[in-house]
Amino acid sequence: MTMAAWKAIFALLLFDKNVGTVLVDGKNYSLKSVHWHSPSEHTIDGKRFPVELHMVHMSDNGKSAVVAILYQIGRHDPFVVQIERKLKELAKEACKGDKEAHIPVGVVHARSLKLHSSKYYRYFGSLTTPPCTENVIWSILARVRGMTKEQVAALQAPLSRENRNNSRPTQPLNYRAVQIYHESRRRHDEDSH
Ligand SMILES: [Zn+2]
């Protein structure tokens, strides 16, 4: 696995083998990468959160499904704990030049993302970063998680100052339906090497 400060827009974790899948409408999507936005791009009842995680999944025929998790300031997030030291290295690397910075990350346990949240919001939209591909299935977990202020700062550190607020403004729904789902189990339980 590697981590990149992708065009200095956000820290991006790229998985180089299959670390898990989600089943959406009977189709399997594999987890390809994870990145963060600060503050959140999605709001719940008009409330914006300090951080939003995006897990980008792809199907075999190139369709995307993104699972989003919202964070408020709270306890240590067990997923970010695993990469905090690496984020510092990435920040140093990113300071050296204006090129995209990359560092190897090693093993990250995707299972600490624990996608066992049963309630989520779903709609069909587009990717929020270029090329803003249409027809992406979005699932936003209803349960907001916690992350420390230090972890939020660590996630922002590899980004250049002007890019630290990297969220796309909330888009009008344009009559898209947002559905609420309840699901008992998902799999993100293998490790990445
Ligand atoms: Zn995103």
C-alpha of residue 190 to centroid of ligand 1, in Å? 23
Q: Which residues contact 26 (CB under 8 A, 6 or more apart)?
A: none
- Report the Cα 103 to chain-centroid distance in Å: 18
- pLDDT category of residue 19 using cuts at 50, 70 and 90: confident
Per-residue pLDDT averaged across 89-94, rounded? 80
Q: Which residues, by Cβ under 5 Å, contact ligand 1, an ion?
A: 54, 128
* Ligand 1 centroid, distance to 53 Cα (angstroms): 7
CB distance 127 to 40 below 8 Å: no
Ligand 1: centre distance to CA 169 (Å): 12
Q: What percent of the chain has pLDDT over 90?
A: 19
Q: How far apart are CA 111 and CA 1, in angstroms?
A: 15
State whether the Cα torsion 66-145-147-22 is positive or negative.
negative
Rounded distance from Cα 175 to ligand 1 centre (Å): 22
- Confidence (pTM): 0.78
pLDDT 10s digits, 33-47: 888 888 888 888 888
Q: Which pLDDT score is estimated for 53? A: 92
pLDDT in tens, 111-168: 777 776 678 888 888 766 666 666 789 999 989 999 999 999 988 887 766 555 556 6
Handedness of CA 33, 133, 102, 92 (dihedral sign): negative
Residue 91 alpha carbon to ligand 1 centre in Å? 19
pLDDT band at 172, cuts 50/70/90?
low
Q: Please name which of 40, 13, 24, 47 lies closest in space to residue 152, comparing C-alpha atoms.
A: 40
**Is pLDDT of 171 > 60?**
no
| Higher pLDDT among residues 48 and 15, named by residue | 48
Q: What one-character-per-residue DSSP string does 74-122 give?
A: -SPPHHHHTTHHHHHHHHHHHHH-SSPEEEE---EEGGGG-----EEEE
**DSSP secondary structure, 110-178, as one string:** GGGG-----EEEEEEE--SSTT--S-EEEEEESS-EEE-HHHHHHHHTTS-GGGSS-PPPPPP-TT---
pLDDT of residue 168: 62
Is 145 exposed, middle or buried, given 0-12, 13-18 or 19+ CB atoms closer than 10 A? Answer: buried
pLDDT at residue 191 in the model: 43
Confidence of residue 180 (pLDDT cuts 50, 70, 90): low
User: Which two structure tokens, joined as six digits, stand for 152?
Assistant: 């939020």
Q: Which residues pair with 71 in a beta bridge?
A: 51, 145
Per-residue confidence (pLDDT) for residue 120, from 0 to 100: 86
Per-residue model confidence (pLDDT) at position 74: 97
46 phi/psi in degrees, rounded to 5: 80, 0
Domains in the chain, start-ordered, CATH in brackets? Answer: 2-192 (3.10.200.10)
Task: Compute the mean pLDDT over every residue in the chain, rounded to the nearest whole number.
Answer: 76
132 Cα–ligand 1 center, Å: 10
